[in-house]
Amino acid sequence: MPTNLYNNLSGKVALVTGGTGSIGSEIVRQLLATEVAQIRVYSRDEHKQYELGQELGDDARLRYLIGDVRDKDRLDFAFRGVDVCFHAAALKHVPVCEYNPFEAVKTNVMGTQNVIDVSIKHNLEKVIAVSTDKAVNPESVLGASKLMMERLIIAANLITGSGRTRFSSVRFGNVLNSRGSVVHLWRKQIAMGGPVTVTDRRAHRFFMEIPEAVKLIFDSMSLMQGGEIFVLKMKEHSIVEFAEETIRTHASGKNVELSFIGLRPGEKLHEGLLTAEEMTHTLEMENILIILPHADLGPREYPGAQPAMGNTYVSRS
């Protein structure tokens, strides 16, 4: 499916929260290939901003803004004159959120509410937020906080009044080679001779590459009409088979053993991309599933979309 967002961004101002993270920085890189007038990189880490600036050069369209989504006053200033927002800022690691639940709520829930409030105030055109498969039937603080984020984003479309702002989400699987990805850990363990640690031999996951994740964001922003959750169609993979493939690829023929360490707090054996209830109001295109909002947000059309087939979308029953 072609991404026509590139043309629609001509002359506009884009802001990326979490703009120096694995996903946020790739959004920034791809935005530089468009005719967007200005890109505001909003994040907390000055060193990561410095490194990204060194990589991308002193582009006249780039602006680096230090700030936290928890800080509504700073967001309010940063959002002046913005047309579209890519909301990628979040606490994303399951164990971190399990042991710091209040911090997860402050960033993932309250931070999202701040983004919604200032987006409506400054009459943005579109806001698209990054969610996760952990939000489906959540067992973790991360999943629960991201589910709440999705609900806030959907509900925001009901309170825009006469403004033009529309809000939608994308729901990711496990993003390979992102910061903190298990692949990085496995490669280090392989380099040290092993063992490679795996949580549970029965576990299955959905995986996607960073370019796939960002393309989903851009395609979704092109399609969005407000309140949808967009999901990339993905194949599920056995964690064991994936770990063994990583060993074959990076161990140079050496024998590296697996070590099973058990699921960490908040982790599930099997992830899901949609619930059975969501499948009843989901459309599908060639590569994307579109979960429609229950709320009546007016007529909408997605060229080529058909009602989704099946009862649910989980990694393994």
Q: Higher model confidence: residue 299 or residue 108?
A: 108
Of 49-53, 144-148, 178-182, 300-304, the range with the lowest mean pLDDT is 178-182
- Please give the positions annotated as active site: 134
pLDDT tens across 198-252, in order? 889 998 888 888 888 899 999 999 999 999 999 998 878 888 988 888 899 888 8
What would the mean pLDDT of 298-313 be, rounded to a whole number?
81
Split at pLDDT 50, 70, 90, the class of 294 is confident
Is 143 within the bounds of a domain?
A: yes
Which three-class secondary structure state does DSSP give residue 204?
strand
Question: What pLDDT sits at residue 66?
Answer: 98
The structural domain count of the chain equals 1
Q: Is the pLDDT of residue 11 over 70?
A: yes
Burial of 316 (0-12, 13-18, 19+ CB in 10 A): middle
Is 77 within the bounds of a domain?
A: yes
| Length of the chain, in residues | 317
* β-strand partners of 209: 176
The CATH number of residue 284's host domain is: 3.40.50.720
Per the structure block, which two tokens stand in for 288? 């994307």
Per the structure block, which two tokens stand in for 24? 């946020």
Question: What pLDDT sits at residue 2?
Answer: 41
Question: What pLDDT sits at residue 179?
Answer: 65
- Express as a percent the part of the chain with pLDDT over 70: 94
What is the rounded CA–CA span in Å between residue 290 and residue 12? Answer: 26
Is 245 within the bounds of a domain?
A: no
Is 208 within the bounds of a domain?
A: yes
What per-residue string of b and e applies to 149-161 under the rule 16 or more CB within 10 Å gives b? bbebbbebbeebe
Count CA within 13 A, CB hemisphere, residue 74.
12
CA separation, residue 189 to residues 64, 93, 184, 243 (Å): 35, 20, 9, 11
Is 119 within the bounds of a domain?
A: yes
Contact 205, 263 (CB under 8 A): no
What would the mean pLDDT of 255-284 be, rounded to a whole number?
90
Split at pLDDT 50, 70, 90, the class of 311 is low
Q: Is the pLDDT of residue 126 over 60?
A: yes
In terms of C-beta distances under 8 Å and separation of at least 24 residues, what long-range contacts does 210-216 make, across chains too?
210/22, 210/23, 210/26, 210/175, 210/176, 210/177, 210/178, 211/26, 213/23, 213/26, 213/170, 213/172, 213/175, 214/23, 214/26, 214/27, 214/30, 215/3, 216/170, 216/172, 216/288
What would the mean pLDDT of 268-286 be, rounded to a whole number?
90
Is 40 within the bounds of a domain?
A: yes
Which H helix or E strand runs over 195?
none
Split at pLDDT 50, 70, 90, the class of 1 is very low
Question: What pLDDT sits at residue 309?
Answer: 81
Chain centroid offset of residue 65 CA: 21
Eight-class DSSP state of 308: P
What per-residue string of b and e applies to 205-219 under the rule 16 or more CB within 10 Å gives b? bbbbebebbbbbbbb
Q: Transcribe 29-73 into DSSP letters.
A: HHHTTTT-SEEEEEES-HHHHHHHHHHH---TTEEEEE--TT-HH
Q: Helix 111-121 to helix 141-156 angle, to the nearest 10 degrees?
A: 20
pLDDT tens across 57-89, in order? 878 999 999 999 999 999 999 999 999 999 999
Split at pLDDT 50, 70, 90, the class of 317 is very low
Is 248 within the bounds of a domain?
A: no
User: What integer best gives the mean pLDDT of the chain?
Assistant: 90
Query: In terms of residue numbers, what domain contains 100?
Result: 9-237+267-294+306-314
What is the rounded CA–CA span in Å between residue 246 and residue 237? Answer: 13
Split at pLDDT 50, 70, 90, the class of 264 is confident
Is 45 within the bounds of a domain?
A: yes
Contact 114, 89 (CB under 8 A): no
